[in-house]
Amino acid sequence: MEKIKGKIWVLINEEGKLINDIDTDQIYHNAYLHITDINEMGKYALGNLKGWEDFPKKAKKGDIILAGKNFGAGSSRQQAVDCFISLGISLIIAQSFGAIYKRNAINSGLPILTFPELDKNLDYFETGDEIEVNLLTGQIENLTKKMKFQANPMSKVQYGIYKAGNLFKYAK
């Protein structure tokens, strides 16, 4: 599945700016770390991010998240990746990712792409738009607004891990 199509959620604050430095505690609060069933984790996604507490009730399988710089900063909390897998989020696009989060997402087979110029193009994306993303070329097409953008593509290894399902399956 080289291309992913879905409805987007643009993580912005009250001023309409991308939220930067969303840490793993905002993505998945430490109050729920005792939950070990990945199928239960989705209902707590973004539950500690002001203005986005109801995200799990509104998100649908196949949806795509757009975020600012340093998404997933902080601890190596695997639940911060697993909660999106649980919800069926098909892709996260951010200006940049926290290093540990990025590695955890790739290893788990959760597709992520960096789009460093997202903030400069924010006027062309709004929650509810439908986009199609080519993971190998990095091309993002906003189908709602009929516009194209360029993100950084996945590496061949990242794509291989994604196609296999996770790092362990890829290694086999």
- Confidence band of 172 (pLDDT split at 50, 70, 90): confident
Q: What is the pLDDT of residues 11-65, one digit of tens each?
A: 999 999 999 999 999 999 999 999 999 999 999 999 999 999 999 999 999 999 9
Model's pTM, two decimal places? 0.97
Percent of the chain exceeding pLDDT 70 equals 100
Q: What is the DSSP string of 1-37?
A: --EEEEEEEE-B-TTSPBPP--BHHHHS-GGGTT---
pLDDT at 77: 92
The neighbouring-strand residues paired with 10 are: 66
Domain boundaries of the chain, sorted by first residue? 3-164
pLDDT at 80: 97
Q: With 80 as the cut, is the pLDDT of residue 1 above it?
A: no
3-164: CATH topology: Aconitase; domain 4 (3.20.19)
